[in-house]
């Protein structure tokens, strides 16, 4: 019983950790006017902390896993915002229909071919 209670406390602490990193990142972003979004700054900060402190606790690992498992759901509210952009999409339909497929293929080819060349003969760890 006590174990379960501790675990729930640990989960709250893990969420607090994620929010504190985001908050610190946002404070830095707003304060310095850097173009890097607050949550990204929070990501870098947490990565630094993990390297410094030697890895996440089991609870932070599980909590982060929980957030990332439902990442797809978290995009939905913003995506539904498409209803406010239908005019813009219609007005730029051709530009969007050409730019996205072509640039995505170029990105895949350039990254993949370059990475394969640079890794040639290098086995993984």
Partner 1 sequence: MHSLLPLPFFHVWSYLQTQPLMGLTATLCTWELACFIDIKAGHKPITNPTFLSITLLACALLVTGTPYSAYFNGAQYVHFLLGPATVALAIPMYANRHSIKKHFVPIFISLTTGSIVAAVSAMLIARALGAPHDVLVSLGPKSVTTPIAMAVAQNLGGQPPLTAVFVMITGVFGAIICTGVFWLVRVKDWRAQGLAAGTAAHGLATARMILINETAGAYGGVAIGLNGIITSIMLPLLVNIFGF
Q: In the window 30-49, what residues touch partner 1 (CB under 8 A)? A: 35-40, 42-44, 46-47
Q: How many chain residues interact with partner 1 (CB under 8 A)?
A: 74
Q: Find the binding residues for partner 1 in span 4-23 (CB under 8 A).
A: 15, 18-19, 21-22
**Which H helix or E strand runs over 73?**
helix 71-74
**Which H helix or E strand runs over 96?**
helix 93-119
Q: Find the binding residues for partner 1 in span 47-66 (CB under 8 A).
A: 47, 50-51, 55-56, 60-61, 63-65
Q: How many CA atoms lie within 13 A of 32 on its CB side?
A: 12
By CB under 8 A, residue 3 contacts partner 1: no
| Of residues 4 and 51, the one with the C-beta less far from partner 1 | 51
Does residue 39 contact residue 25 with C-beta atoms inside 8 Å? yes
């Amino acid at each position: 019983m006590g174990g379960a209670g501790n675990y729930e406390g640990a989960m709250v602490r893990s969420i607090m950790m994620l929010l504190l990193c985001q908050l610190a990142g946002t404070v830095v972003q707003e304060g310095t006017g850097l173009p890097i979004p607050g949550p990204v700054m929070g990501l870098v900060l947490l990565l630094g902390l993990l390297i410094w402190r030697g890895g996440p606790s089991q609870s932070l690992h599980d909590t982060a896993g929980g957030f990332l498992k439902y990442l797809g759901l978290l995009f939905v509210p913003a995506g539904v915002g498409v209803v406010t952009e239908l005019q813009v999409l219609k007005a730029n339909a051709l530009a969007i229909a050409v730019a996205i497929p072509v640039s995505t293929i170029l990105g895949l080819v350039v990254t993949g071919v370059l990475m394969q060349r640079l890794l040639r003969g290098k086995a993984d760890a």
